[in-house]
Amino acid sequence: MAGAIVYLLNGPNLNLLGTREPEVYGKQTLADIEAAAKKHGEKIGLSLDFRQSNHEGTLVDWVQEAGKKAAGLIINPGAYTHTSIALHDALKAVACPKIELHLSNVHAREAFRRVSFVSPAVDAVICGLGADGYTLALDAVRRLIEKRA
């Protein structure tokens, strides 16, 4: 388990964290979140591969790569949550534990945000806890990895 690789993938517009709607997404930048996640991952024995892309195909490629290389996968798919059958299909093809993550509570927002093509393809969903959701997702994926070992 020690040093198990977890892919932590971030979708479109998450590179704008800290400036994009801070009242919804918080004031921390993605770099701040990455640093905290890597520190926490190290503390709990996980090695993180932290990435962000605004491109759906790139995210699909990374999900497929995680299926070959990672012990677990956490994905904040951003707006692709509500539109991407391609991400759904890629996630379904990956056997490792998978968690969908959102900074905001998508269920308390616009109606279209309550629809997720990703949720049926993952083991768990964490939303509404801001940047803290990342460390909680790491704890959760670690438990899922241990249960499957």
25 is catalytic: yes
- Tell me how far apart the alpha carbons of residues 125 and 21 are, in angstroms, rounded to a whole number: 22
- Tell me how far apart the alpha carbons of residues 21 and 29 are, in angstroms, rounded to a whole number: 12
Task: Kindly tell me the burial class for residue 129, based on how many C-beta atoms sit within 10 Å of its own C-beta (0-12, 13-18, 19 or more).
Answer: middle
102 is catalytic: yes
Catalytic: which of 7, 25, 80, 134? 25
Q: Among the residues of the chain, which ranges form H helices?
A: 22-25, 30-43, 56-69, 85-92, 132-148
Catalytic: which of 7, 80, 88, 102? 102
Of residues 120, 65, 119, the one with CA closest to residue 94: 65
Q: Which residues sit opposite 148 in a β-bridge?
A: none
> Active-site positions?
25, 102
